[in-house]
Structures are given as C-alpha cells and as structure tokens.
Structure 1
Amino acid sequence: MESEPAGEAGVARVSVLLPYPLLGAFDYARPETLALEPGDIVLVPLNRRAEVGVVWDAPVGLPPDLAAPPSRPVADAKLKPVAALLDIPRMPESLRRFVDWVAGYTLSPPGLVLAMALRTNASAPIPPTTGWVRSGSNSTTARLTPARQRVQQALVDGLPRNTAELARMAAVGTGVVRSMAEAGLLMEVVIETPSAFRRPDPDHQDPVLSPDQERTAEKLRNLVHARRFQAALLDGVTGSGKTETYLEAVAACLAEGRQALVLLPEIALSAQWLQRFVRRFGVEPAVWHSDLGSKRRRITWRAVAGGEAQVVVGARSALFLPFPDLGLVIVDEEHETAFKQEDGVTYHARDMAVVRARLSAAPVVLVSATPSLETLANVESGRYEHLSLAVRHGGASLPTVETIDLRDHPPERGRFLSPAMIEAALDAMRRGEQAMLFLNRRGYAPLTLCRTCGHRIQCPNCTAWLVEHRARRQLACHHCGHTEAVPTHCPSCNAENSLTPIGPGVERITEEARETFPDARILVMASDTLPGPNAATEAVRKIADREVDLIIGTQIVAKGWHFPGLTLVGVVDADLGLAGGDLRAAERTVQLLHQVAGRAGRAEAPGRVLLQTYNPTHPVMQALIANDFATFMQKEAAQRRPGNWPPYGRLAALIVSADTAEAADAAAQALGRTAPRGEGLQVLGPAPAPLAILRGRHRRRLLLRTRREIAVQPILRSWLHGLQLARSVQVDVDIDPVSFL
C-alpha cells in the first residue's frame, strides 16, 4: 500500500523506520509530489536533522510470539512531511520481513536491526565517474602551449579520460588539465564504468567429483531447482570435498538466474576458498566484511541490490545485504561460535541464515565436518535433510590420532613440548613433510606472576588476567583491549625483575620451537600475525610452495585449510577449553581438535595427530582417537535432554551491568524478585557473571530456561515491562546464549 489517508484533513501518511534504537517506525506525511512504496529509502526530518530511513509496512507472517505491541497513532497535525525520495534501490520485502523477524526474536529495537541492513554509508549514492574530452572550441584566446597540445593529442581518439590518467598520458601536471577546462578547451563528461563484478560462469570448469560427491551434489541441485525453502545439513569427514560439492549448488543457483550467499565464520581466512571459487567459476565473487573500504562497500551494496553481484561470500553481516532474488544460502563451518554476534543486536548467524532463506523461498545448506548439536537435533527431528560425505576425496586416508600422557612423558622443566612430540616433528621434517603445532591461546603467556609476593597482574577494567605479548612488549586484555607496558617492578611489592610469565601462549611455543628446531622454517598463523585476507593469502602460498617446514597456530589453523604437505599435527594442550562450567565446553573442544586434526594427511602421505594431555581417558580424547564424533555427540545429547538444556530446551540470558557493584546487585535482585514462574520454566540467578567486571562495569547474570515448546520472548517482554532502573544500569538480553562470560 503506497500511503493511507488519516483524519479529517485526509493527510496521506507513511511509516518510516529509522536506523536508531527506537521502539518502532515513525509516521510522516507523504507529500503529493512523492509516490512512495514500502522499501523506498527516504530522507525525513528528525530532531532538526535530516535522517535516512526506509518506508515500512506492517510485518506479514511474523509469529505472534515475536510481535511487539502496536504504538498509538500520531495526530495528522503533528506529522512532518517526508523530505525526499533517495535514488537508492528499494529494500526488498524479504529483507524488511527479515529485519522484523530478527528484531522480534532477539527483543531488539527494529531500528537497531535496520542499521545493519541499511548501512547508511554503504547505501549512499555513488557519485558518477567523470572525465574529459576535447570541447571542439575554436577559441583563439586560449593559448595552446606544447603541454596543452600534448593533452589534446591524448584525446584525439575521442575517448574520455579522468584527470590523473590524462595528465599521465600527456606527461603534464594535473593543473594543465584543469586550466584547459577553465579555458573551455576541455569538456567534462560522465564515464560509463564497467560492471564491478563479472558474472560467474557455472560451466567454466567441469568439476571432477567422486560418485559420492556427485550423488550429493545432485541432491543439492534439486533443492535449488525446487525454488522453495528447505534446510539441509551437509556433513562429512575433513578433506571429503564438501566445498567442491556445495559449489555445484551455487552453479545451479546461477543457472536459475538467482543470487547465492555463502557465509564463512572469518572472512579474513577465505584465501583458499576464493581460489577454489575462481577455479570453478572463472571470476571472484563479491566479498563482504567489516574491513571493506567505504567506496568498495558502497559499490558492493549497490551491486547486490541491483542483482549485479550474483554470488556474495561474507561474514555474518552479509545476511543483511539487500538481495532482490536470493536463491541459495550456504553456512560453511556452521558449528563455529564466530557466527554469534555478541555486541549490539545479539544473534546467531547460522540460525538467522535459516530464517533469511525461508523468507526468500530458498534452500539453506549448513556445512561442517563437526556439526553443532543444535543442527544434529534438527536433523533428528526431521526439520533438516541430512547429506553426508563419508570418505576423503582422492583416496586420502584419515589421520591416526594418539595421545601423549604428559604425566608419563613430561616436557623438560620450563618447556611445553614433550620429547615424544619433538621427535615426531623432527621425523616429519626429515622426510621433507610439514608439521604443525597447535595451541589455542594468543600471546606469550596468559598470566604474569610476581615470584616474590605472588601478585598477579590483572586488567584494571575487567576481572581477567593480562596476557603478555612479548613481540609487542605489552600486557593486553583480550576482553576490553586495555594494554600497558610490561613493568620492570612488581606493582604490589615493588620487587625488581620478579615478574615471570606463567603458562604458554603461541608466541612462547614459537620461541621454544626456534630453539628446538633451529633449522626449521617456521610460520606463525594467529590473528596477531595474519591481520587480513592478504596476509592469509601469502601464508597459504608459502605453505603450498613448501617454503615452510613448521606451522604454529591458534584456532585460525583449524578453519578449512588444505595443506597437502602437512602430515603431523601436534596439539600442545588438548585439555585447554575443558575446564570451567561452560555448557558446551566438551562439544567445542572435540569440534576444534577434530578440525585441527583434519589438517593432517590430506594427500598421499598418511597423517598423524598427537594430543598432549593430562587426561587421556577423557571422553573427548577417546572420541578423537576412535574418530567417532557421532557417538560422542549422541552421549552429549543424552546428558542435555533431561535438564531441558539446549538444543532440547530454550535459554535466554539477562546481563545486568552498572557502574557500581551495589547498583548491579540491586537491579539484579529486583529482577530476581519479579522472575516468572510456571511449569516448564526456571530462572537461575542472579549471580555474578564469570567476568564480573567488564570494561569497568559490574555484571550480574540471570538465566531463563524453558522447555523447547515454550517461547521465551513473550515471557521476557512481560518480565521486563515497566522495569524501573537507575540511569547507570543496563539490562541486555541474549536469546540462545553461546558465551557464558
């Protein structure tokens, strides 16, 4: 509906949603000169400023549990008129419904979700590219110096050129070009720019698929051709060719003339994925992530909105791009916690990808060698189709997994690599093969301790120890970003040179490796050393070209890399991650270590994985040794079902934060006193959060747990309605929490 009259004056009004944390859309008067439709991007007045917003329509198909109560209409006389309709592609209906759905599910203001979809800086108009041609002027007053003559000669073919290119061709300064324009010798024209994204060719290269891969690929193609929503899990052992298989679904989507979206957990690590895409389709896809420059962001946003960018590979924020005809969604490494957005609007991109696909009448394929228990539960219930690749591509065998019991084979004093690990790495490198040491901990040491008084250096803003980064000569907090120089004296007892690092980080393992393997060419793969896609691409090249003997890395190395020369993977601390009360600790650890182990032996040479552990009988270690991920997850599911823990129940966290501990306690206790009660639901807390202080704010947590069939959103709305809080207190809601810090 374009507009609707209201009141005796018959004012035509439209609702406009603004990208701010407001409760809903605002009503504006529609000028007679503007024909507005839902999705139009407009300029409207707000608090004496002009703001960009979107003409909004009432949610359609939004479940009642997710719908917010309607607001009261504004009188006609108080309506302000829409200022302008912007020359920006209309926001598709499927994206508008997605914004409504995410806002309702996460209990976030719709405008805050819109901010992720509108991306004002990305959706801003792109100024036209201009250049110069000869004006044809016969002016006799303009003197034609030799320099000006060279400029005219450069334009003799009649093709327009921009100032910089023209100056370079004529070997003159840019001032000469501008002076000729002022003299009327040159005329400015708009240069038609070529398409920013070439069309991927689904027939560019016929893939070489195994019979198992071809059968699976055909099922994926059929899902795309059906042009309706269907969710599917594609799992398979590491190295089974899941990427090559699902790229056939992308090819089918291209053949249908629709757009495809591929989500990766960390786009900075997409180097090998992009190479595979180019081999298959002949061109690169559009890429979307937070590190894009503003100009490239605008170009990509426009290309997606116009259907010009047919395939987008991106981080979780790519879900909010304005696809006019989305025909396929792929979520690669769907088990990764990096898909959870923790700040602002808290959402899980894996789950929201399923919603986006449903609203676009498109299939969604979740891909992983170690699927999350949530996805496996959906397969078990019949909501998701299950496709599987059981063997490694090209006849490669799975690596053997062994434990090194650190009680029986301890490292030397002050060291962290067991003699058995050292000998295995030396054997691999002697054979001309590559080895990897894995430790999921950045920095040099996780704790700095005073040997004199026992003081531990803690972040001044958080209840967390500062991590030493020796290469930067800093102590850093990995939660709030605080950094400080490593002190020469203990801050507590003032003892000189008494501070000592406790425990290993990846930098410390690198230091030990350089001493232990002096002739090895070592490459460190961590977020500190691979700050972006270019650095990752260069690292991959060095490994592939055998310029590296030993790779040392954090969890970055677990994310889908294919290193044919790598035959040994050594996990320095396999027990890391199992401590603490995290609901998903065992699941995450087995996923991470299974993925790391999968980097070994992906070509002809067999692979070997060594796990340094103090608890070799732990179920995680036994599952890895037996390569029996399925049985481990079945046991994990059996432990969660009785208590209605996810995915067999629902969780929502309320995080209370305040400037003082007293204010946080008072607000949390007030919430506790009014906590909902009823059959099938329970409120745990309030209690201090594991990170009781974060960025200087004191934090308390309450946890709402319900049976699976009970929607938590109406319960939370009722619970929080009318809550009176001090100005310094904030309550954040996290539906389906992943982190419990």
Structure 2
Amino acid sequence: MDGNELDLWGEDAGRPAPARRVSVLLPLPLGRPLDYRLPDGESAEPGTIVLAPVHGRMLHGVVWDSEPDPGFPLSRLKTASVVPGLPRLAPDLRRLIDWVAGYTLSAPGEVLAMAIRSPLLAPLPDRTVTLWGAGPSMPEGAQLTPARKRVLEILAEHETLSLPDLVREAGIGAGVIRSMAERGWLTATEGAKAPAFAQPDPAYQGAAVLSGDQRAAADALAASVTERAFSVTLLDGVTGSGKTETYLEAVAEAIRLGRQSLILLPEIALSAQWLERFARRFGVPPAVWHSDLSPATRRRTWRAVADGTAMVVVGARSALFLPFADLGLIIVDEEHESAFKQEEGVIYHARDMAVVRARIEALPIALVSATPSLETLANVEAGRYRRLSLASRHGGASLPEVTAIDLRSTPPERGRFIAPPMIQAITDTLERGEQAMLFLNRRGYAPLTLCRHCGHRFACPHCTAWLVEHRQRRILQCHHCGHSEGMPEACPACDATDSLTPVGPGVERVTEEIELLFPDARRLVMASDTIGGPEGAARAARQITDRAVDLIIGTQIVAKGWHFPHLTLVGVIDADLGLAGGDLRAGERTLQLLHQVAGRAGRAEAPGRVLLQSYAPEHPVIQALISGDIAAFMEAEAEGRRPGHWPPFGRLAALIVSGEDMVETDRVSAELGRRAPHAPGVEVLGPAPAPLAMLRGRHRRRLLLRTRKDIAVQPILKNWLSEVSISRNVRVDIDVDPVSFL
C-alpha cells in the first residue's frame, strides 16, 4: 500500500466557521454525516464532540468538516448539544478517519467508532482523592498488630498515601485502615489526584549501552524525530540484535522534545517482557492500550492521550485511532505480523494505516522486524522507505545452528510425534542444566477426532471445520466460532464405544508424550488458552527466566519476542505445517514464524540449536532456515510473484459474499461474477466457495479482483457493486489488500 489511490496529501480544506447548523458524523454504519442544529447560544467547530438523538436514543458524535445542507429548514432539524469537558478530535485524526473509510470502502461512521466510543467519553471521577496519614499521636500501650505496624512504617516513609496505594504497599485489607481511622490513629485529608501516568525519563540511569551498529541506527532514527517530517524507516536485524533498545532511543528523543510516541505491537497482552524493558530504560511503564483493559482504565488512558500526559502509548492495532495531542513518532514492531490486519468490521491493515497517519501528521515511522514483509522490502527497493540493518546479535552472542530432521528416514515411534534425534537433543540439553522448547502451532490435544468403526468425523455444525479435542477439559471445540460440545462416550453415528481416535497432534498431545519421555522435567505449556492474558504471560516469563521450568511446549505465542537466557534448544514438531494449501503468502509466513521461533534459542553465553522435524527438508523454506539466507528466499519469492502482478507488484481486493440462505448467497455471488469488470490489467477470479465455505452459520463465497500496481481498485469496486442488486439477507464484505484467503 503506497497511498496513491486517494487524495491523501492535499491541503487541509480549512475549518468552517462555528454555526448553529452542523454536520455530525455518528459512530454508525452510515454513508455520510447527518445534519443537526445546536441550541440557542451554542456553537461548535469541526471536531467538537456532541450528543445527538438517533432513533430515540442519544449517541456521541463528532461535528464533521462537511457542509450541512443550507436548504433544509433549520426548524425541522433535530437538536444536538455540545458535551463540555471533552477534547476536540484534531483535523489530522479526522482526515485519517476519512482516508481509511475511502481506502477500505467502509462507512466513515464505522471508522469513527474505532476512535470514540461512549464508555470512553463518560465523565472521569473527581480529580481529588482521600489521602491517609498517621494521626497526631498514639496512645500509650496501644496494641499494634503486625498489619497495623506495617501501615505506620509505610506512612512514616511516605507521609500520606491514597487508600488503594496504602493497601497495596502494606499488603493488607482496607478494613485495617478503617479500624485505625476509627481509633484516631490515622487522619484523612483531601489531595490532588496523581496524574494517570508518570512521565518517562529519557536520561534514566537504566539506559542501554548500544553497540556501534545500534548507536548509528538509533542516532538516525532520533534525527528523523528531530526533523519533524514524514519518513518511513525499516529497522531490520537478526533476532537478538537489539532492535527494541535501538528504537527506544528514538522514543527518548521524542520525549526530550515533549512529543508523544505510539508503539504498535501485534499482541500487546503477551508483551510482559517488552514492558519490563521499557521500564528499565525510562524508569516507569508506558501507557498501555488493548482489549483486556478495564473500562475505567481505558477511559483514563484515552483522556491522558488526548491531553498529552500519556507521553508513550504501547498498544494493539486499535491504538492507531487514539486522539494524540502531539504525536511525534510511530513504531510498528514485528511489522510482518498478520495480527496487524483486522479481518472483521472495518477491514484494514494497521501497519499500512500507521504509515498513512505518519504521512498526514508529517512525522517519522519505523517498521521493525527480523523478517520484514515482502511489501515492506518492495518499498525499500523502490526508494520509498529507508533501511537500517543490525547484522549481528547484541553482546557477541552467536546465531543458533539450524538442522532439519528428515521424518522419512528417522520417523517417531508408531503413535508418537517426537523423532529419536529430537528426543536425544532434549536429553542432552536437560543433562547440561539448560532449557528446551518444543513448538507446534496447534492448540488442544488433536485437530481431528474420528470413529475407527464407521469413519465419522466430528465437525462444527456452524463452520467448515473439524472440532479440536481439548482432552483436559473433555470437550470438542471449533476454533473459528467457539462452538463446543462434550466429548461423547460413543460414536453419535454408529453408537460404537471405545472407537473414537484422535488424529494428529496438538500441544496437549505433545505434552502428554513429553510426560512419558521426561517424567522428571518441569513443564510449562504456553498457548493462548492456557496463558490467559497479560498477567499469565508475565508469570510464565518469570518462571522460565527464574529457571523454574525445564521444558516449554508452546504455540505461536512463544515466538513473540521473548528473551530466555537459559533456553538453548528449540524443536519444531511439524515444520511443514502452514506450507500446504493455496495461500499466496504460505511460504513467507511459515518462514517468518519459524525464524522467530528459532530466534528464542541461544541468547546468552551458551550457543543455541534449532531442530526442524520435516517430511520435506528440501523445501525452500526449510533450506532458507538452515542456511540463514533469508534474503535469498525473499528475493526468489518476489521473482515468483512479479510476473503475475501478485502483491506487492499488483493489487488485490476480495469480495466475501455471505448469507444464511445458500441459494440466495449463490445468486448474489453469481450475479457479481457476471457483472465482473473487464479491462486491460484487470482480472476477476471466482466466484468460488471460500476455503471456510461455512463460518458461524453463514455460507461464504469469494471473488478476487487483481489489477496492475498502477490501477486503483476502489473506483472499480464501487462501480462493480453499484450494478448488482444485493438482498438484505446477504452481506458483501470488501477486503482491500487481503492477507488471509479463508
């Protein structure tokens, strides 16, 4: 995505004068803003947040830049009122919302809903707080319990503290405080509430010592912050090369200049170690933004971003639409990750839209990865992006040795999934007192359960997918819609008992095998359904770092930038997983994932080793991992896509037709096929059943529009859809620049 389809770079249209007649964009799937009038004596500039009546309810909306219809009688307009105390949405954020809507062909109101939601706009609690301090004197002979003594000792050091802080510091219940206050041993005063976020210190004593390459890259990034101009930089380097410490120096420069920074991570809820690194560098944690936050925390964070007191925000893709007061830098870490693509609602890629926001606001953005996406590499090659590379691991650590285990010549025992060379490598590692990790990107016990007697396979009733067995919970579950059912005692098709057989391994089954092979090893399973969230991830990381774990068995979350100093062996159970099928990016994605997993091995003094179990060790992906020549693989991948105008050398847009009625869904998709556009450099593939032909009870068909790089897909899509009658029972979702083909 290079942004040449729509008018992004034009001058701001200017700010209409305040008026009683206003155009209001509402966070609803509407194609345009609606006109309202303001009460007598009120006026509102564009960006002002108002409350407006819509179908009998009041919704927050934003006064938009479009001109209201002057010909419509003012007396017939419904009345909207300005909400006092809320920040205005800045012109640049409004331009971003309009631009994203135009690029993705979404309703502007749907994009606005990602920037403002009513819970975020609720009033904040009073800005005063009750502070507790020691009373003027203690009566002689007062009986002090250990808990009461701790309270007084802490107050002797801090003088006054709020109730939550005092409870946390003393490790006691609030009842202890109340009982001491009733006896007159504590006094309460009103004080100003501390800011929601402490200010990070760019000169904090925990600043990292950078190598020569790191320092040169850090200085270049910091200089781009100082220049206050749009630029895109790819910061790449091998795993463990210190990319995080390098780009944090650019964050430090933004803090010195009094400007805010946004750091996007693919899965912020699993980034406990990243947050610890930040706190070591700046003395305090950053503001965090993700879906697991409580409503009150999200509200405080949103306001702190808007008033500029949250200097650094680290978040998931939705943080891109926060109302920054003075944004000076954007970092997209692990820029290649598909988690940055939102697949439902407004379908957009946060990495690409982050580049758009940087361009709109004239600020630098850095894309960071050990395995950059082909799209980013193509932009480097075209001269649109600058490249800074870190070629070696920090501190002189060596890269791990990667070896393939050919399962055709050394297969596991019958009914097992760990090959003898892998077992021996784990044995040797544990005997040296080091840690090992086994990786398999499959949750649960087995991806398929069938009946040996009649061949019945357990499938989801709502999706074209097999049910995954989760043996510990005794359920069969669909990982697409969440449907689950209890594990039956007999086959529902033939009533045979003791005939149900798991097919293939998941991490639970590998763990079961490890328990038999290494009964004395301390084990930890790291999967999204076992870790639980930020606190669980932090707890697991501490266990591994503190050497309370010998063997880690994990899914793809173990690839997310962890640093485990004593982990020297990484074993991939099924390195071929992900290479099959017709996904355009299957090879690229598999390489990126396995390279990230391999990078967990051998970070400290002990050298690392990576073993890949494969039935096709001659595959280019496996060979690239063994040789370490990732660049050559990506060049070959690019050459394979270039002739057919496949991304990044052409444009794609997908139409996903879905409905509960299969006949009507097929009718609409067939009509779209008949009305498909035809022009030089334009091709339409389909309609065809999607690989997930049924999802959450809806039948799905796909059409794929492919064009040359110099042809904008949005006008073609608009004209195409305008020629087809789409019933209300059928939905057509548009995915510009698709990364998933399910």
Is the TM-score greater than 0.5? yes
- Tell me the residue number matched to 1:195: 195
Distance 1:385 1:72, change over 3 A: farther
- Tell me the residue number matched to 1:228: 229
The answer as to whether partners of 1:332 and 1:367 remain within 8 angstroms in 2 is yes
* Cα deviation code 1:437-471 (max 9, x no counterpart): 00011110000011001111100000100000111
Distance 1:41 1:160 in 2: 36
- Tell me the residue number matched to 1:137: none
Does residue 498 of structure 2 align to residue 487 of structure 1?
Answer: no
Distance 1:369 1:605 in 2: 21
The answer as to whether partners of 1:130 and 1:189 remain within 8 angstroms in 2 is no
* Residue pairs, 1:95-110, within 5 angstroms: 95-110=93-108
- Following superposition, the deviation at residue 123 of structure 1 comes to 2.5
- Tell me the residue number matched to 1:639: 640
- Tell me the residue number matched to 2:301: 300
Structure 1 counterpart of 2:595, one-letter code: H
- Tell me the residue number matched to 2:603: 602
* Cα deviation code 1:472-510 (max 9, x no counterpart): 111000101100001111121111121100000011001
- Tell me the residue number matched to 2:244: 243
Distance 1:626 1:511 in 2: 33
* Cα deviation code 1:72-91 (max 9, x no counterpart): 97443432222233321111
The answer as to whether partners of 1:34 and 1:85 remain within 8 angstroms in 2 is no
Distance 1:275 1:189, change over 3 A: closer
* Residue pairs, 1:537-548, within 5 angstroms: 537-548=538-549
- Following superposition, the deviation at residue 407 of structure 1 comes to 0.7
User: Secondary structure of 1:245's match?
Assistant: helix
Give the one of 115, 122, 127 matched to 1:124. Answer: 122
The answer as to whether partners of 2:340 and 2:349 remain within 8 angstroms in 1 is yes
* Residue pairs, 1:263-274, within 5 angstroms: 263-274=264-275
Structure 2 counterpart of 1:171, one-letter code: S
* Residue pairs, 1:563-642, within 5 angstroms: 563-642=564-643
The answer as to whether partners of 2:60 and 2:117 remain within 8 angstroms in 1 is no
- Tell me the residue number matched to 1:356: 357
User: Secondary structure of 1:416's match?
Assistant: coil
User: Secondary structure of 1:706's match?
Assistant: strand
Range moving further from structure 2, 116-125 or 721-730: 721-730
* Cα deviation code 1:651-696 (max 9, x no counterpart): 0000000112211110100111111110111010000000000001
Distance 1:626 1:26, change over 3 A: same
The answer as to whether partners of 2:59 and 2:118 remain within 8 angstroms in 1 is no
Count of equivalent residues: 696
* Cα deviation code 1:524-567 (max 9, x no counterpart): 11101111111111111111111111111101111111111111
Give the one of 24, 27, 30 matched to 1:16. Answer: 24
- Following superposition, the deviation at residue 129 of structure 1 comes to 5.2
The answer as to whether partners of 1:3 and 1:13 remain within 8 angstroms in 2 is no
Distance 1:632 1:577 in 2: 17
Give the one of 18, 39, 53 matched to 1:45. Answer: 53
Distance 1:167 1:410, change over 3 A: closer
The answer as to whether partners of 1:128 and 1:191 remain within 8 angstroms in 2 is no
Distance 1:82 1:541, change over 3 A: same
Range moving further from structure 2, 357-366 or 50-59: 50-59
The answer as to whether partners of 1:439 and 1:553 remain within 8 angstroms in 2 is yes
The answer as to whether partners of 2:129 and 2:192 remain within 8 angstroms in 1 is no
- Tell me the residue number matched to 1:721: 722
- Tell me the residue number matched to 1:183: none
Distance 1:436 1:477 in 2: 27
Distance 2:481 2:673 in 1: 28
- Following superposition, the deviation at residue 132 of structure 1 comes to 7.2
User: Secondary structure of 1:587's match?
Assistant: helix
Distance 1:197 1:161 in 2: 16
Structure 1 counterpart of 2:353, one-letter code: M
- Following superposition, the deviation at residue 172 of structure 1 comes to 8.0
User: Secondary structure of 1:117's match?
Assistant: coil
Structure 1 counterpart of 2:224, one-letter code: L
Structure 2 counterpart of 1:253, one-letter code: A
Distance 2:405 2:161 in 1: 69
* Cα deviation code 1:296-350 (max 9, x no counterpart): 0100000000000000000000001100111000000011101110110111111
The answer as to whether partners of 1:131 and 1:160 remain within 8 angstroms in 2 is no
User: Secondary structure of 1:44's match?
Assistant: strand
Distance 1:236 1:331 in 2: 15
- Tell me the residue number matched to 1:217: 218
CA RMSD of aligned residues (A): 2.5
Structure 1 counterpart of 2:284, one-letter code: V
Distance 1:243 1:283 in 2: 16
Distance 1:220 1:93 in 2: 26
Structure 1 counterpart of 2:287, one-letter code: A
What are structure 2's unaligned runs of at least 5 residues?
1-13, 133-151, 153-158, 168-173
* Residue pairs, 1:381-396, within 5 angstroms: 381-396=382-397
- Tell me the residue number matched to 2:335: 334
- Following superposition, the deviation at residue 113 of structure 1 comes to 0.6
The answer as to whether partners of 2:675 and 2:723 remain within 8 angstroms in 1 is no
- Following superposition, the deviation at residue 131 of structure 1 comes to 6.2
* Cα deviation code 1:232-268 (max 9, x no counterpart): 1000000000000000010011111100000100011
What are structure 1's unaligned runs of at least 5 residues?
6-10, 60-69, 135-153, 178-185
